[in-house]
Amino acid sequence: MSKDNLVEINNVSFGYNKRPVLKGINMAIPRGRVVAIMGGSGCGKTTLLRLIGGQIKPQQGEVRVAGQVVHELDREELYKMRRRMGMLFQFGALFTDMSVFDNVAFQMREHTDLPEAVIRDLVLLKLHAVGLRGARDLMPSELSGGMARRVALARAVALDPMLIMYDEPFAGLDPISLGVIGNLIRRLNDALGVTSIVVTHDVHESLQIVDYVYFVSEGVIVAHGTPEEMRQSAKPFVHQFVHGEMDGPVPFHYAGEDYGADLGLGHV
C-alpha cells in the first residue's frame, strides 16, 4: 500500500448472481490524478465504481480508499468516507421532486450549517461552471439528457470532495459541452487537488484530459498506461479501441480472453 494512492484495488473479483463480472482486478489511482477506466459496454466499469463507493462487497480481494478497506467499514465509517466522495451516476439520478437548484444544494443543506445565502452563492457557482445557472428553477423532468448530466455533475462536486467518480460524464453531450465538461473535470482536479476517476467510452476526449488509462475487458485489465503510451500502443486491443476500428486484428470478444490469460491478472 503506497501512501500516494488514494484508491487501490487489489485482486478484486465480483459477480452478480454467481455470474462473474470482474476477475481479479488490480488498479491504483494516485492522489491528485485523473484516471480513466475504459472498456466495452457491460464489461463492469460501473460495477467497479460501486465497489469503490462501498455499495457492493467484493467476493474476493479488497478495495482501499485512503488506506481503509472499504468493505470492512461499518455503516458510520462508510458514510463518513462517502461524505468525501462525489459520484456522477451514469443515468444522472437527479432527485425528481426537487428543482435543479435544490438538487445541487441538497448535500450542502443536509451536511452543513451554511446560511441559505452562502448556499445560494455556492450553488450558482457550481451551476455556472456547467453552464446551467439560468436553468436553476427547472425541474429534472424539464431538462434534456445532456443538461441533466451536467446538473448531476454540478451536484457530484457540490461539497468539494476528495475523490470524484464520473460514470460516463460525456454521454449525450454536444461537442461544445463535451469540451467544456472535459476541461472542467481537469480544472477541478488541478485547482482543488481532487482525485478523479472517469469511466467512459469516449476515447478521443478522455485521452486529452486524463493522466492514466486502464482498459478493462472480459473482467480483467488488458492494458494500462499514460494516454501517450496508449496512442502508441501496438497491442491490438488498445489499437482497436483507441482508433475505434470495427474490425481489429483480433475480434473483440476473443481479444479479452487472450489477453486475460496473457497478462496473468497480476502485476499492474
Partner 1 sequence: MFERMTGGLRGIGHTAIDGVWRIGYASRFFLLTLFKSGISFRRFGLTIKEIYFSGVLSLIIIVVSGLFVGMVLGLQGYETLQKYGSEQALGVMVALTLTRELGPVVSALLFASRAGSAITAEIGLMKATEQITAMEMMAIDPISRVVAPRFWAGVISMPLLAAMFSAVGVFGGYLVGVVMIGVDEGAFWSQMQAAVDFRQDILNGIIKSVVFGVAVTAIALFEGYDAPPTAEGVSHATTRTVVTSSLAVLALDLVLTAFMFRG
Ligand X SMILES: Nc1ncnc2c1ncn2[C@@H]1O[C@H](COP(=O)(O)OP(=O)(O)OP(=O)(O)O)[C@@H](O)[C@H]1O
Footprint on this chain of partner 1 (rule: CB under 8 A): 53, 55, 79-80, 82-83, 85, 87, 89, 91, 93-97, 106-107, 110-111
Alpha carbon distance 138, 206 (integer Å): 30
Min. distance of Cβ 53 from partner 1 in angstroms? 5
Q: Quick check: helix, strand or coil at residue 215? A: strand
Min. distance of Cβ 133 from ligand X in angstroms? 30
Asked if residues 248 and 215 have their Cβ atoms less than 8 Å apart, the reply is: no
Q: How many CB atoms sit inside 10 A of residue 50's CB? A: 17
Among partner 1, Mg ion, ligand X, none, what does residue 79 contact (CB within 5–8 Å per kind)?
partner 1
Among 26, 46, 189, 206, binds Mg ion (CB under 5 A): 46
DSSP letter at 186 equals: H
Q: Beta strands of 92-194 (E only): which ranges?
A: 163-167
Among ligand X, partner 1, Mg ion, none, what does residue 106 contact (CB within 5–8 Å per kind)?
partner 1
* 68 in contact with ligand X (CB under 6 A): no
The span of 45-53, 58-66, 113-121, 257-265 binding Mg ion (CB under 5 A) equals: 45-53
Nearest of 27, 49, 45, 62 to residue 217 by alpha carbon: 45
| Number of residues located near ligand X, criterion CB under 6 A | 11
Min. distance of Cβ 95 from ligand X in angstroms? 21
Residue among 16 and 91 whose Cβ is closer to partner 1: 91
| Residue whose C-alpha cell reads 446538473 in the numeric block | 151
Among ligand X, Mg ion, partner 1, none, what does residue 95 contact (CB within 5–8 Å per kind)?
partner 1
Alpha carbon distance 167, 117 (integer Å): 31
Phi, psi torsion values for 201, nearest 5 degrees: -100, -15
Interaction residues for ligand X, span 82-101 (CB under 6 A): 90
* 141 in contact with ligand X (CB under 6 A): no
DSSP percent split of the chain into helix, strand, coil, nearest 5? 40, 25, 35
Alpha carbon distance 177, 84 (integer Å): 26
Give the x/- contact pattern for Mg ion in 85-124, rule: CB under 5 A: -----x----------------------------------
Alpha carbon distance 207, 242 (integer Å): 9
Among 1, 2, 41, 141, binds ligand X (CB under 6 A): 41
Footprint of ligand X (CB under 6 A): 16-17, 21, 41-47, 90
